[in-house]
Structure 1
Amino acid sequence: MPHKDADHPVVKRQKTAAPASASKAASDSSRIFAPFRTVGLVSPTSVPFTSIPLGKTTFQISTSVGRSIQTYDLRRGLNLVFITRPQTPADITATLAWKEKIFAAWGGSKKGESQGIWVFQRGKKVDELALPSDLDEPVKQILILGIWTIVAATTRIEVFKTATLEHYTTIHTTPANNRGNEITGGIVSMPTFLNKIFVGRKDGWVEIWNVSTGKLIYTILPPAPDCGSVTCLEPSPALSLLAIAYSEGTLIITNVLTDKVTLRIEAGSSEAQVNSISFRTDGMGAGNDGRKDGVMATATAATGDVTFWDLNGGGRVMGVLRSAHNPPSYDGPLVRGGISKIEFLPGQPVVVTSGRDNSLKSWIFDETPFSPIPRILHSRSGHAGPVNCLEFLPTDFEGADAGNKWLLSGGQDRSLWGWSLRRDGQSTELSQGNIRKKAKKIGILATNALSHGPTTTLEDLKAPEITCMASSLNRDGGIGAMPGNQPIWQKSRDRKKAQDAEVSGMTGWESVVTAHKNDPYARTWFWGRKRAGRWAFPTGDETNVSTVAISPCGTFALVGAESGGIDMYNLQSGNHRQRFPSGLTPGQARQLKMQQLRQADDIVQMHAEATRQFPVGTGKHTKRITGLVVDSMNKNVVSCSLDGKIKFWDFLTGNLLEQIDWAPMTFPTGCRYHPASNLLAFSCDDLSIRVVDMETKRTIREFWGPQGAINDFCFSNDGRWIIAASQDSVIRVWDLPTSHLIDAIRLEKPCKALAMSVTGEYLAATIENELGVTLWTNKALFKHVPTRQISEKEIGQVSAPTVSGENSHGMLEGAFEEEQAEDEDTVVAPTIEQLSSELTTLSLVPKSRWQTLLHLDFIKERNKPTEAPKAPEKAPFFLPSTTGKENPMASKLQGESEAESSSRITRVEKARFEEVLSTKLRAGAETGSYDEFIEHLKSLSPSSADLELRSLSIGDGDEDSNELLHFIRALTARLKTRRDYELTQAWMTVFLRLHFDLVMENQDLLAALSEWKSYQEKECNRLGGLVGYCSGVVSFLRSPRT
């Protein structure tokens, strides 16, 4: 499409349709990227975890992550030990760990969805249960009771034999009105109750069934009609005592033998129903000194608190572990929270909790001094909300390969995470200070234990959710940066004290800068120390931050505002250094005013526009800044805004140098920079990506194709590709040199953020409303990727990477894949021998070939041996000698035989070789077209061409057999067509050098040579005239007088 400015060239646009011959069926895989795995998922679902003791030394805890189960080892610090494979066909709804096996129920949540129960052992599927064909309800719980495996659905219970996994019987709960027979409290078994299970119902009843006979034995009614439905059942360590929690907040401990309530407490409310109960079994923890038995813990999905009860003396609250997990966020359902399950480990002062905030934690009780509230022991977690932005860490000043190991991600849960792609245990959330200590100071953790109303949460003490980030490790001091307790996020207007620049100069300073949603401050972070930094940089006009950038040297941070302002701060001192445009002194302001008055004159204004000089202090963006970039040399700052302008600023002075105006044609929404190629890419609101050369400030590429807004995009590590994710759920890859769409990945949901590692090994992507980060490997590192243009019809549905890495491909695996037949990479330009018959055209033969032909004699002379070959040294006495006097006649006869054989073969091949040359030359003489002869001669090597020319003969003296005459005429005909000019000259030079004596003795050859000479002189004069004319014109244009 034509550029807006007339002096700009026509932009090379991307082809939007492939040739008809290249049309193919949709592919179910990417040509460049292969799914690898998903990181960041620990316990993202509401399915409770399941645990089992492993010997007497440790416990294994298994959590559901959608369609796989991850198993963690407690003794190893909750390190991941197993991931189940293959993935279940649908989401997992219930799990159970039993002995060395894990049972996983999946599917059935949607109408018509298939379901089943698989059995895993050490991460591998070993068996499965055959569910009844009439089961159309999802499985909610699995329980093993001796020889029985019991599966609870919504209103029915399936019983299997544990030994053979055969279906035994089906138990239907007693029908009731308003679906009161639904199983809402789960099923449990109790010690000494053989073949008995307890079932909690929606109508508040607890039924006791015999699974062996399939009969209802007894029903425990609620203590009051208004208790609501049963939400949780848990047997106590004391025999015959069962804890029952109801939806209205009542919790009772009843004796199932006598059906009498032993204890009744209000453990929750209708808004915060108790969904998990656990009893401590090590005989400690209760009483004033913690040496009595009788501790119970309760938790609810409505908050992140765990309440500990002392059941002695009627029951009392010992303490509340506030915000053990994040509560459900008031920002929306996407940021999950609440506790899904708590469990005291058998015989241990340790309680394990899992939350819907994608975390798994273990807590331990201290005996000396005694504390009724446990402290954190181990923790594994991830983002509790969808991820907004991604960035691979660049390599540091030492060239360490951190960019291929560490991935930064900012999510809607107000956290910044660093993910290790080599070892999951190293992944960590960057600290925002001691949040719990702050909460205690303002009373958040000291509220009434049973108060479940809306209060200030720990989430409110964190920084708002991250929307943009930038990093540079050149000044990162690692774990030793700025030692000591430094203040966190000091604002410029209320800083406590000045910082010592000498200390930060020796140890380094912050290396990450982030922008936050609806917040006027950009915040800094220490990557080496994995904690929040010292500074919070405000925008110049107190509007919200829209984007941030950091200089390649790691010293300066730039903050873009929604109002259009740009400010630069020093990361070492935290001081404001520059504004874009720069501020004006009173004298400069008066001068600017006078200049504006002078420009009222049309001539002056036209001259100012022609020179493109911008006055100091002018050029500020008028709308939201959408992209900020600092070039690799710290010379220029590039900014783009929703006002449609792209501005180039001087880094030191803050003055506007140049600008590109795309309004009202389009408005840039994002900017990316590739330092090595010095290219800028801009995503625009017209669903296109434009590439600008930073040197010429001109648009060199335009890429079209997305059917929805562009969510994120990035350059490949080598700057050859542009990878973009759009709202139409497609990730597209364009090739910059060819301007082709070479690959596309269609996902089930849109991709919201993209990042590519600095080595090009990984592509990281986040899926809309998903918590994990998917990783793809780059197959192009070890195999050729065609650059053929693909069409939209060839974009097929591709499965995203999974947590278990099932069907994943590493880079080396991609290298050994079988090559599929592909069309030509690009549309190959036809080989044009000659653009016009009026042009003298050179051949496409390499220059070295005809130059070698000209100097072949000198090359042979140079390559001659300088001395005669030496006789081989005598062999040692213990080895037989092949050069001695033994059988000399045999050696002589053998040598003569080999020489004779060799000479015979050489003579035959030589005769055939000369026959081809003579045939093509005589055929050209008969037809008058020597094209085949010339093409044959062009294909020969220098030594072969020299042999051909030497083999030409004068024949019998007549014209038909005179090969020398035909050769001169062939070169003359080629000279007339003005083709292969340099080859013609080289061949004639060699020909005259070899056959000059014969030519001088034959009148026919002299006449043919004179004809060739006349055409040669004519062509030389014509070329000389054209070259002289061009030289004169250029000299005239370069003359200073013109």
Structure 2
Amino acid sequence: MPSNSQRPSDSAVKVSRALSTSRHERVLDSFLHFEYALAAFSEDLLLTARKTLGLVSPTSVPFTSVPLGKTTFQITTSVGYALQTYDLQRGLNLVFLSRPQCPSQITSTCAYRDRVFAAWGGSHPASPRGVWVVKRGQVVGELEVDNTYTQEIERILVFGSWIVGCGKQAIEVWKSDTYEHYTTILPSTPAAASNSKEVFSGQICTLPTILNKVFVGRKDGYIEVYNVSTGRLVHTILAPSANCGSVTALSPALALCLLAVAYADGSLIIFDVESDEKVLELHQKDTKKPITSISFRSDGMGAGDDGRKSGSMATSSIGSGDITLWDLNRGGKIVGVLRGAHETSSLGQATGVNKVEFLPGQPVLISSGLDNSLRSWVFDENPFSPTPRLLHSRSGHSAPVTRLRFLPTASDGSDAAGKWLLSAGSDRSLWGFSLRRDGQSTELSQGAVKHKARKTGLLTDDGPGVEQFKASPIIDMACSLNRDGGMGAVGGQVWANAKTSNAEVTSSTGWESVVTAHLNDRFARTWSWGRKKAGRWAFETGDHKPVTSVTITTCGTFAVIGSAGGSLDMYNLQSGVHRQRYPPRLTPSQVKLLQQQAQSEQILTIPQGHRDAVTGIVVDSLNRTMVSTSLDGSVIFWDFSTGRLLERRADAQAVPTAIRYNPSSGLLALSCDDLCIRIIDIESRKIVRELWGCVGQIYDYCFSHDGRWVVSCSMDSIIRVFDLATGHLIDAFRTATCTSIAFSSTGEFLATTHAGSAGINIWTNKALFTHVSTRQVDEATGVIDLTETAAFQAASQLAIAEAEADADDEIDGIDDESSTVDQLDRSLLTLSIVPQSRWQTLLNLDSIRERNKPIQAPEKPKAAPFFLGSALTNGTGADTSLSTAAAEVEETERSRISRLALASSSQPSHSKISSLLTSFSLERDSRELCDYLTTLPPSAADLEIRSLTLSEMPLFVGALTAQLESRRSFELVNTWMSVFLKVHGDFVADVPGLNDAVREWRSVMQVEEERLSKLVGYTRGIVEFLRSAR
């Protein structure tokens, strides 16, 4: 059980009251498990999961849509363990992300009115499963599940008073008003294969005019009609042929009692259910891939010669990227094919169109694909076009992400907030993701790739795929925005190396700012970040071998590329001209000297570069020193401008595999094949730290923004944080295998990519807004495993925080006629209305008095006229400065006791603070005492505190403790206590009861500080979440 500080919040109680029935205990248990996990981990982790970027529709689960009023539609997609809801009117902007995440992968979804039903789990007998009800991104209920049959629910259907879920083995029915499990319907006949329990194909639909009936497709091509109220089979539609295969899609047509059925052999038949006859049979001519999605246009348009008749149908296949449009009035004629609506791939990953759907009453078609994209298409009426045009699109990487880089700060500070993140994937694309608004994320264009594919005739189902026309996958990239010209930067033909630009024009408009190295490509390619497209230059290596490493200088003018053969070449990004080679070519004088020494049999030492693949290149901020590493085990320091070799360090036992540079600290970090990260000072060129602990190959690592930490990820799936000041491991947690890592320039976020995932996980640096312990972590016992909890997969720990915010949202109303409110609520920390200058003056009164003292005595003028008397003399000519100094000495020698006696002679025997302390000892009410001290000026309050007797000191500390417990005048209480300890701190150990009183005050203060720190950290997290893109 967790400790009291980690117990679940009141939000769990709210959820349990809302669910209130025993069938919803699974939701509550999962939610509590999520809370326990986050509470246990959040105290120890420096980094907490925030969100995941780049996921739109990466799974095979079809999207679901629902009209929202009369103005817009909401489309919900599955991203694995969570749901994302997009608003069509807002341009497919993300509006909701479900929380908490499901314990297992989501298998099907269905939107009904204001709720979304999501089925999850059931992939194997040991896997839990369930159906959750989500409203506005929050789980509000769960359907009761019968665990007699372990199966994935392939489709969910909601109609009337029923909720129907179809799996491969059985059909489950629930009541839509109470979420109670009603019945389980088994197939009428077993599967053809005796060893298989799967009978149904998972396709299910209903006709609006037939009550309580569902149509379920089977794997043998039959369609069975069940009455969900009685659980009986009422009719069977036979398969059209023995070789038609399983039913792959079902959809009701707009005409009465018509049902469209697609089969695995690629055929599509429209049945009249009432007469059990075929109305229309359609076949695709150019492909035999089965149709997996069918939709009918319901706005009465789209068919006929002018498009003003009804009868338009759209179909798609999960094995193809095309969308086919049919005119049913012409006997099922294909009137258009939307080629390449979603990308297909020849790289092995599953791609194609997942689902197509016409929005009710709208000329809009929605499609989603396995390329991790969601698109909306609109049909033009004038002039009429049978094929739609793209309206909105949301997408991301269609394959796992391999490289990450945060954009550096621009010279004008425009991108200083760490907003943009560059990512490269194995799908051969380069993306720029916005951490603030998902709608701003975009792929950097590589030219008219689709046009080239269509022109060559290769954009077909059996073609190589669009990615074959892109550059090969990116293995390294570098960026500098100091000379990026934005949208006004010089453009040109992509990677053509056409020297047509004017230097005067490019110097005023800017040029390319990103350089990338590609797999098995001898050209390093440039990109224009401002124009979001590929640049003009493709830089070739000096030895014509593939590029392995690239970098850009901080000024943004030069790019340096390293090859697999060890060559290093520098290019000018403005003109595309080759400027330097490392080491440089021999001059004629050097060649002549070499020939002479060869004849005299003398040995001439010639500087040599790397003899193997270059693994990393960095250049310091002043373009003075360049450092490169290679697989030959060498680390070479170069003079950047001349190419002269300054120093070579080689260690065959520790081959550097990568290098990173932090400008703020001037430190280099080298990852070596002996699993150590070595830190080198670029000025002294000496090793200052060695960071051990990584197990297996080090995949990636980076400096923090201030150079204090090094964050690494390795083959053992652990992300480690090292503190450079001590060399200790201060944080370690296990995730899915991390492949790339990047820290933002502001230090707010850490971005990670993981094996097999197209998403980018964003982590928040807690050390920026709250105190986090950085003590050394034991490698054996201190690693926290996040893969076993929803904390990592959720990619957002705001679920619990926002639930707690809802629980604490009820505040009693304040009915106070006065303009000044004493305290809104006992749980709130209230400050006084005293001006800040007053209590700050009291806190620093001694310093102010010391500062106001005269620095030196007035000096006598050196040359005064003889006829003028000096201002420092009286009429007798005696120097008054001596008498003044004597008076000051006399005043200084007067004792403190005499002055206190003189002050007390004009005051009553008992001061007011003494009487208030006596009253406090009787009534234990500190408000009158604090009100009195609040009214005093700083000097008077200081005098009252200094005048306390030994017997009054414990009472005074007790009164401050009581005021602190009431959470009023927080800053004044701390100020008074600070002055008291400064004046009477020597008496704490000697006065009876004072030591205990101070200890009690300190314990109360520590509790309040911890509570305040958590509230402030939580508030900042919520504010940053609201400011960011959701």
Query: Fold match, TM over 0.5?
Result: yes
**What residue number does 1:975 align with?**
none
**What residue number does 1:742 align with?**
730
Superposed, 1:944-955 pairs within 5 Å as none
Alignment check: 8 A CA contact 1:581 1:656 kept: yes
Q: Map Cα deviations across residues 711-769 of structure 1 (whole Å, 9 max, x no partner).
A: 0001111111111100101111111121111111111x211101001111111111111
1:690 is paired with a residue whose SS is strand
Alignment check: 8 A CA contact 2:517 2:549 kept: yes
Report which of the two structures shows the higher radius of gyration computed on alpha carbons: 1
1:490 is paired with a residue whose SS is coil
1:794 is paired with a residue whose SS is coil
Compute the RMSD of aligned alpha carbons.
3.4
**What residue number does 2:577 align with?**
575
Alignment check: 8 A CA contact 1:677 1:719 kept: yes
2:316 is paired with a residue whose SS is strand
Aligned AA (1:541): D
Superposed, 1:980-995 pairs within 5 Å as none
**What residue number does 1:620 align with?**
609
Q: Which moved more, 1:787-796 or 1:379-388?
A: 787-796
How many residue pairs get matched?
797
Give the distance between the partners of 1:29 and 1:768, measured in 2 at CA: 27
Q: Map Cα deviations across residues 422-446 of structure 1 (whole Å, 9 max, x no partner).
A: 122211111222323323332335x
1:780 is paired with a residue whose SS is helix
Aligned AA (1:628): I
Structure 2 residue 473 is matched with structure 1 residue 465:
yes
Superposed, 1:463-502 pairs within 5 Å as 463-482=471-490, 486-491=492-497, 495=498, 497-502=499-504
**What residue number does 1:706 align with?**
694
2:207 is paired with a residue whose SS is coil
Give the distance between the partners of 1:865 and 1:771, measured in 2 at CA: 84
**What residue number does 2:745 align with?**
758
Alignment check: 8 A CA contact 1:27 1:797 kept: no
**What residue number does 2:842 align with?**
none
Give the distance between the partners of 1:403 and 1:688, measured in 2 at CA: 32
Give the superposition deviation at 1:388: 0.8
**What residue number does 1:194 align with?**
211
Give the distance between the partners of 1:185 and 1:588, measured in 2 at CA: 78
Alignment check: 8 A CA contact 2:124 2:150 kept: no
**What residue number does 2:757 align with?**
770
1:165 is paired with a residue whose SS is coil
Alignment check: 8 A CA contact 2:252 2:258 kept: yes
Q: 1:314 aligns with which of 312, 331, 335?
A: 331
Give the distance between the partners of 1:304 and 1:154, measured in 2 at CA: 26
Give the distance between the partners of 1:908 and 1:134, measured in 2 at CA: 79
Alignment check: 8 A CA contact 2:99 2:799 kept: no
Query: Could you say if the C-alpha distance between residues 514 and 895 of structure 1 is closer, same or farther in structure 2, counting changes exceeding 3 Å?
Result: same
- Structure 2: which 5+ residue stretches go unaligned? 1-39, 806-852, 859-882, 889-901, 915-942, 951-981, 987-1030
Alignment check: 8 A CA contact 1:392 1:755 kept: yes
Give the distance between the partners of 1:172 and 1:121, measured in 2 at CA: 31
Alignment check: 8 A CA contact 1:777 1:810 kept: no
Aligned AA (1:75): Q
**What residue number does 1:554 align with?**
556
Query: Could you say if the C-alpha distance between residues 597 and 395 of structure 1 is closer, same or farther in structure 2, counting changes exceeding 3 Å?
Result: farther
Give the distance between the partners of 2:293 and 2:282, measured in 1 at CA: 15
Aligned AA (1:481): A
Give the distance between the partners of 2:448 and 2:547, measured in 1 at CA: 25
Q: 1:158 aligns with which of 145, 148, 172?
A: 172
Query: Could you say if the C-alpha distance between residues 865 and 151 of structure 1 is closer, same or farther in structure 2, counting changes exceeding 3 Å?
Result: farther
Q: Map Cα deviations across residues 176-212 of structure 1 (whole Å, 9 max, x no partner).
A: 3214862215110012111111111001101111111
Q: Map Cα deviations across residues 375-416 of structure 1 (whole Å, 9 max, x no partner).
A: 110001111111111111111111234351111111111111
Identity of aligned residues (%): 53
Aligned AA (2:192): N
Alignment check: 8 A CA contact 2:101 2:794 kept: no
**What residue number does 1:722 align with?**
710
Q: Map Cα deviations across residues 337-395 of structure 1 (whole Å, 9 max, x no partner).
A: 21111101111111100111111000111222222221110001111111111111111
Give the superposition deviation at 1:556: 0.6
**What residue number does 2:11 align with?**
none
Structure with more contact order per residue of length (Cα contacts < 8 Å, sep ≥ 6): 1
Structure 2 residue 229 is matched with structure 1 residue 229:
no
Q: 1:427 aligns with which of 428, 433, 441?
A: 441
Aligned AA (1:55): G
Q: 2:586 aligns with which of 584, 587, 611?
A: 584
Aligned AA (2:87): D
Give the superposition deviation at 1:134: 1.0
**What residue number does 2:907 align with?**
894
Give the superposition deviation at 1:807: 4.7
Give the superposition deviation at 1:944: 14
Query: Could you say if the C-alpha distance between residues 943 and 348 of structure 1 is closer, same or farther in structure 2, counting changes exceeding 3 Å?
Result: closer
Give the superposition deviation at 1:595: 5.3
1:169 is paired with a residue whose SS is strand
Give the distance between the partners of 1:230 and 1:380, measured in 2 at CA: 30
**What residue number does 1:980 align with?**
none
Q: 1:209 aligns with which of 226, 237, 258?
A: 226
Query: Could you say if the C-alpha distance between residues 313 and 398 of structure 1 is closer, same or farther in structure 2, counting changes exceeding 3 Å?
Result: closer
Alignment check: 8 A CA contact 1:394 1:403 kept: no
Give the distance between the partners of 2:508 and 2:656, measured in 1 at CA: 40
1:301 is paired with a residue whose SS is coil
**What residue number does 2:546 align with?**
544
Alignment check: 8 A CA contact 1:68 1:83 kept: yes
**What residue number does 2:637 align with?**
648
Q: 1:93 aligns with which of 107, 122, 125?
A: 107
Superposed, 1:503-514 pairs within 5 Å as 503-514=505-516
2:487 is paired with a residue whose SS is helix
Give the distance between the partners of 1:290 and 1:27, measured in 2 at CA: 60
Give the superposition deviation at 1:500: 1.7
**What residue number does 2:1027 align with?**
none
1:312 is paired with a residue whose SS is helix
- Structure 1: which 5+ residue stretches go unaligned? 1-25, 606-613, 815-856, 870-888, 910-940, 946-1042
Alignment check: 8 A CA contact 1:68 1:804 kept: no
Alignment check: 8 A CA contact 1:247 1:270 kept: no
**What residue number does 1:405 align with?**
419
The TM-score with structure 2 as length reference comes to: 0.73
Query: Could you say if the C-alpha distance between residues 330 and 111 of structure 1 is closer, same or farther in structure 2, counting changes exceeding 3 Å?
Result: farther
**What residue number does 1:369 align with?**
383
Give the superposition deviation at 1:592: 3.7
Q: 1:528 aligns with which of 516, 527, 530?
A: 530
**What residue number does 1:47 align with?**
61
1:106 is paired with a residue whose SS is strand
Q: Map Cα deviations across residues 853-897 of structure 1 (whole Å, 9 max, x no partner).
A: xxxx999999x999999xxxxxxxxxxxxxxxxxxx999553788
Query: Could you say if the C-alpha distance between residues 91 and 710 of structure 1 is closer, same or farther in structure 2, counting changes exceeding 3 Å?
Result: same
Query: Could you say if the C-alpha distance between residues 860 and 430 of structure 1 is closer, same or farther in structure 2, counting changes exceeding 3 Å?
Result: same
Query: Could you say if the C-alpha distance between residues 268 and 755 of structure 1 is closer, same or farther in structure 2, counting changes exceeding 3 Å?
Result: farther
1:456 is paired with a residue whose SS is coil
Give the superposition deviation at 1:106: 0.9
Q: 2:192 aligns with which of 160, 177, 186?
A: 177
Alignment check: 8 A CA contact 1:243 1:253 kept: yes
Alignment check: 8 A CA contact 1:36 1:805 kept: yes
Alignment check: 8 A CA contact 2:74 2:85 kept: yes
**What residue number does 1:125 align with?**
139
Q: Which moved more, 1:95-104 or 1:731-740?
A: 731-740
Alignment check: 8 A CA contact 1:36 1:810 kept: no
Give the distance between the partners of 1:270 and 1:480, measured in 2 at CA: 45
Alignment check: 8 A CA contact 2:50 2:795 kept: no
Aligned AA (1:488): V
**What residue number does 1:731 align with?**
719
Query: Could you say if the C-alpha distance between residues 185 and 750 of structure 1 is closer, same or farther in structure 2, counting changes exceeding 3 Å?
Result: closer
**What residue number does 2:783 align with?**
795
Give the superposition deviation at 1:54: 1.2
The TM-score with structure 1 as length reference comes to: 0.72
Give the superposition deviation at 1:255: 1.2
Structure 2 residue 250 is matched with structure 1 residue 240:
no
Give the superposition deviation at 1:785: 4.0
Alignment check: 8 A CA contact 1:180 1:203 kept: no
